[in-house]
């Protein structure tokens, strides 16, 4: 089973690439962030034509998450933090609980958005604990907007203290995963420097000035089923790409 996550930065602009990615990689479940559209404008038909189901929590212009899957989800919960912001969608499929989160960007240190981001991390952690998801076959994936380790950024000294790599943020992410979540990419590639996001500006992709901020975390019960985890970097080199690329998890 192949489960992927991708911040597409507008589903309508990236639709052809998303369809290509699903087919080329034989993806079973795709978790999308920043679809940037309301549900009423989501291209449901394009996915049903490919024999995929789509579950959408959308919002006008900003945010927006979705789950795309070959077989139907048994249950889907949107808005799990009850904040009305289209950043969370969770579903049950087979024996898995999959929680797709678009974590806040965070603005700058000390800004209102920065504290919102740290609070958001606590709320997701509490939600997982409250619902005992950590003791289920649980997958937390999405755009975390935080690089956790030094090897998750292109220059740890230059980026020290900047958004996405501040101590307070890394502490928040470490605190979240301390409840028993395993970084699937790191499980297979312990010391590999690899990124999932490159800024649009300044030729960042060509220079490989990136960060690994899109991740797939699994609960301990799934460790024995991990088969592979990879980053589909080639999609960043296409014309009019998203600034993020997909991460793919293969489960036995």
DSSP state of 160: T
Binding flag, residue 142, DNA (CB under 7 A)? no
Binding flag, residue 240, DNA (CB under 7 A)? yes
Binding flag, residue 113, DNA (CB under 7 A)? yes
Smallest gap from residue 118 Cβ to DNA (A): 14
Q: Which stretch binds DNA (CB under 7 A): 21-29, 36-44, 184-192, 229-237?
A: 36-44
Near DNA in 71-110, by CB under 7 A? 104-105, 107
Nearer residue to DNA within complex by CB, 47 or 138: 47
Nearer residue to DNA within complex by CB, 77 or 105: 105
CA-to-CA separations, 33 to 5, 134, 162, 187, 201, in angstroms, rounded: 8, 23, 22, 24, 21
Selected binder of DNA within 25, 43, 50, 62 (CB under 7 A):
62
How many CB atoms are located within 10 Å of the residue 157 CB? 8
Binding flag, residue 9, DNA (CB under 7 A)? yes
Element (H, E) at 31: strand 29-33
b/e 90-101 (16+ beta carbons within 10 angstroms → b)? bbebeebbbbbb
Binding flag, residue 39, DNA (CB under 7 A)? no
Smallest gap from residue 136 Cβ to DNA (A): 30
How many chain residues touch DNA (CB under 7 A)?
A: 19
Reduced to 3 states, what is the DSSP secondary structure of residue 18? helix
């Amino acid at each position: 089973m192949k489960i992927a996550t991708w911040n597409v930065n507008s589903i309508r602009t990236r639709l052809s690439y998303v369809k290509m990615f699903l087919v080329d990689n034989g993806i079973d479940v795709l978790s999308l962030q920043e679809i940037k559209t309301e549900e009423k404008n989501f291209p449901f038909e394009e996915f049903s034509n490919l024999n995929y189901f789509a579950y959408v929590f959308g919002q006008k212009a900003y945010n927006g998450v979705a789950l795309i899957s070959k077989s139907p989800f048994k249950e889907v919960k949107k808005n799990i933090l009850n904040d009305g912001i289209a950043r969370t969608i969770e579903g049950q499929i087979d024996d898995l609980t999959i929680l797709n989160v678009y974590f806040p960007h965070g603005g700058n240190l000390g800004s209102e958005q920065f504290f919102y981001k740290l609070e958001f991390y606590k709320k997701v952690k509490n939600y997982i604990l409250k619902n005992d998801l950590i003791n289920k076959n649980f997958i937390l994936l999405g755009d975390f907007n935080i690089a956790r380790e030094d090897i998750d950024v292109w220059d740890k000294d230059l980026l020290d203290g900047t958004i996405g790599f501040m101590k307070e943020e890394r502490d928040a992410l470490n605190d979240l995963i301390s409840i028993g979540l395993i970084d699937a990419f790191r499980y297979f590639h312990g010391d590999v420097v690899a990124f999932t996001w490159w800024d649009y500006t300044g030729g960042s992709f060509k220079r490989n000035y990136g960060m690994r901020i899109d991740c797939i975390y699994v609960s301990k019960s799934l460790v024995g089923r991990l088969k592979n985890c990879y980053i589909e970097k080639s999609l960043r080199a296409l014309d009019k790409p998203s600034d993020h690329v997909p991460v793919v998890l293969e489960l036995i």
